[in-house]
Structure formats: structure tokens, C-alpha cells
Amino acid sequence: MIDDAEQRLRSGGRRIGHARRRVLERLEDQTEPVTAEVLAGELDGVHVSSVYRALAVLEEIGLVRHVHLAHGPALYELADRGSQVRHLVCDGCGRDVAVPAALFAPLQRRLSADYGFVLDREHFALTGRCLDCAGAALESEP
């Protein structure tokens, strides 16, 4: 991963640098998307503004992507990991369910064929209610 990052950065006239290297190393260890603030808290000697700048450049060259889960801050993950899943977020309890990205391929094809619309299925999570919260809402109705 680091070698790929160095090659992509150099081809664009940039260098890997300390903050970018450390951010990539931490993202490699993450199993779920994480905020820039969490990353900064895990990186001694790297200021949160440096983390944001590193993430922006790494996203620009296609190594990192961000996603918005409901109303919270942007979460970051390695692009190759994030391309495999999409997120469903419960409006009630905030539960995040990662589902295979391929699940949305038929919808994307249908929207393109029937409406001439290309769906950006990566940037935002789909929100709704998990079964527990949906059931609790139904039970509390008079």
C-alpha cells in the first residue's frame, strides 16, 4: 500500500511525507471507517489539520475514500476496502450495517437504463430503521 501511494504521489509531483505515511498505516489497521479526529488521536505528533490535508490528497489520488453515515462527520477508509461495501444506517439507534456493494448493481443499471441517471452509490449511506427500531416504533403507536 505504501509503495503504491509513493508511486502515485510521485507521478503527480508530490511526496509521501510523514503525515500521509502515518495516516495510510493507521487506515490499513482499521476494520471500519474512521473520522479524521480519531485518526489524529491515534497519531502522536500529527496535528488534526495535517491529517485532513493528508486525507484530501490521498482521496484525490484514489487511495482513500470518505463516506457520510447519517448526520455525523465524514468517515474515511482505504478505497479498495470501501469499494466492496455500502452502509445502511438506522435513524433510530445509529446502527451501521455494511452490505455488499454488488447488492446495488441492479438498481444502478435500472436507473441508468430507465432514467439516464448514474447513481453515486459510494458517498452516502442509506438511512432507515433497523428491525428492532422499526418494531419498537410500531409497538408504541396507539
In a shared domain, residues 7 and 73:
yes
122 contacts 104 by C-beta, under 8 angstroms: no
Q: Do 64 and 109 sit in the same domain of this protein?
A: no
94 is in which domain, residue-wise?
84-142
Are 7 and 74 in a shared domain? yes
**Residue 48 confidence (pLDDT) above 80:** yes
Let me know whether 30 and 57 are in one domain.
Answer: yes
Q: Are residues 107 and 65 in the same domain?
A: no
pLDDT band, residue 104 (cuts 50/70/90)? confident
CATH number at residue 35: 1.10.10.10
Cell numbers representing residue 51 in the block: 491529517
- Both 48 and 101 in one domain: the answer is no
In 3D space, the residue among 80, 75, 72 whose CA is nearest the CA of residue 5 turns out to be: 80
Q: Percentage of residues in the chain with pLDDT exceeding 90?
A: 33
Q: Which of 39-43, 82-86, 119-123 holds the top average pLDDT?
A: 39-43
Average model confidence (pLDDT) for the chain? 86
Beta strands 85-90 and 64-68: pairing type? unpaired
Instruction: Kindly state whether residues 98 and 134 are assigned to the same domain.
Output: yes
Give the three-state DSSP class for 81. Answer: helix
Q: What is the pLDDT of residue 47?
A: 93
Per the structure, how many domains does the chain have? Answer: 2
Both 113 and 129 in one domain: the answer is yes
CATH code of 138's domain = 3.30.1490.190
Sequence length of the chain is 142
Question: What confidence tens digit (pLDDT) does each residue in 105-142 have?
Answer: 899 899 999 999 988 766 678 889 999 998 766 666 65
Indicate the residue among 47, 79, 111 that finishes a domain: 79
Residue 91 pLDDT > 60: yes
